Structure 1
């Protein structure tokens, strides 16, 4: 693994937080496009995107909704568009693949295993919710599994990777997921350079502890050597300090309202761009250069913005 410049990814809206939790969370296609473009202008080279029902804010896999903001983002910025294949709790593999197959992006996220993904503790933080779906959606994670079997992963790698030339942000919520990725590398179903996103602080995944961050890097170095580029993201209050620690240990970084709603202790972020500016303000004084979208494309060996279908 080598790191010439730091790639900043911004996860704009996600499928965890709900509209009640922050007025800044983008919900409509217009809001998602606006905040994504602002984040790119602030310095994000990669925009990680989910879609939401414009009326309720509930996560949706509907490709028609994605196509209401993807062309606008492409027309307004040269940032790399990274579309989720994780979707949201309860979505089938076909639903999760609908938008990526329609749009054929340069990059997609790909979770490297089935896991518990506990969002239910968020229910107790709010006395009431704006929409009827929010509390049951969060509570469903108490007895739900985020399903990503070996067959699911094989399907995504073939239908998107082989058939569309899409590359992947491999989301690894534990060191076991690194070994799963190594399995697919051994089978030559994935090819270097790998973009490995270590995820910390999700209930059901590895905790946001310094020991875990350093251990994840040691295992990734052991398994992938110089054939990968590392990135770090962390949930909630852990976000900024943990991605900074990752960068100090050679990682790229991911911020955004999908991962945390805050921009400082007790201070709700006003936008995704605010978080991008904040991490830049931390990294640049530490003599870290920020990668442009085209530099990110070169580093990650992406197919280029001219080869997408939006």
Structure 2
């Protein structure tokens, strides 16, 4: 972490898990996502983390839907727009990579497998084998896309170290600790797990605390007190309190800003966040200038999980 750097607040607007049945406040269509993204930015979020849905509200990797959301958020805010490569739980590697091929400033990059459990009792694997992680990292490196390395348990930090050793990451490293996700191999959202994970961070790495569900408020408050960055938003937590659903994403950002200020901290502006996170930046009101014009992969994809005999496939 940069000494005495202001904390960066990220807002995760939509995600790939909840839907309108969970809360009508969840933005699903581009107009809703852009509207709530602008409000979250105005409330103090320097980074906007984006998933997209199709017209029926299902997870999608449709490049044109992402292009619309990305372009509008870049045009109407000065936030860093961070597109997901996690997507949904049933999408192929090629589909999930499509967002990085738009050359945003940042993309998320999951560092390992997580077996998620849905509300109706199904088990779905978000599979991230090493070959796929390296493929995504190579494409991002070639395109100047800064990855946020999503770590669901401390062991996944070893995958971060492997990418560093392979020359696939450039400093500064940006790690997101996801704690409390509803899945196997995802660490619980406890202060002990947060402290342990932070103790294992690579030297000089930035860290964003991502608490899921009821863990969001206590862990992000702890994160601010520890000098870390934080993420809030309806992707991770749809409640404002145990008895009250969140009004929208901006309400969760507003509370995070209030807590930061009570701790005598000033949240980072988007320009400060760019300097801290090491993104390539963009001109005001414009999408980032692509380093590679071709929106096709430059590197050969790995074998699919099935072709490689990988038992960790969607179930």
TM-score, with structure 2 as normaliser = 0.87
Query: How far 1:265 sits from its partner (Å)?
Result: 2.1
Aligned-partner Cα distance in 2 for 1:239–1:149: 28
- The equivalent of 2:111 in structure 1 is 112
Of Structure 1 and Structure 2, the greater helix share is in 1
**Contact 2:223/2:230 (<8 A) preserved:** yes
Report matched runs for 1:57-136 at 5 Å: 57-101=57-101, 103-118=102-117, 120=118, 122-123=119-120
Give the alignment's Cα RMSD to 1 decimal: 1.4
- The equivalent of 2:293 in structure 1 is none
- The equivalent of 1:256 in structure 2 is 233
Report matched runs for 1:73-222 at 5 Å: 73-101=73-101, 103-118=102-117, 120=118, 122-123=119-120, 139-140=121-122, 142=123, 144-161=124-141, 163-202=142-181, 203-204=183-184, 205-220=186-201
* Per-residue deviation, residues 277-304 of structure 1 (Å, max 9, x unmatched): 0111111111011000010000111111
Aligned-partner Cα distance in 2 for 1:237–1:59: 24
Report matched runs for 1:269-288 at 5 Å: 269-288=246-265
- The equivalent of 2:203 in structure 1 is 225
Q: Secondary structure at the match of 1:295?
A: helix
- The equivalent of 1:133 in structure 2 is none
- The equivalent of 1:9 in structure 2 is 10
- Would you say how many aligned residue pairs link Structure 1 and Structure 2? 284
Aligned-partner Cα distance in 2 for 1:166–1:59: 22
Change (3 A) 1:114 1:31: same
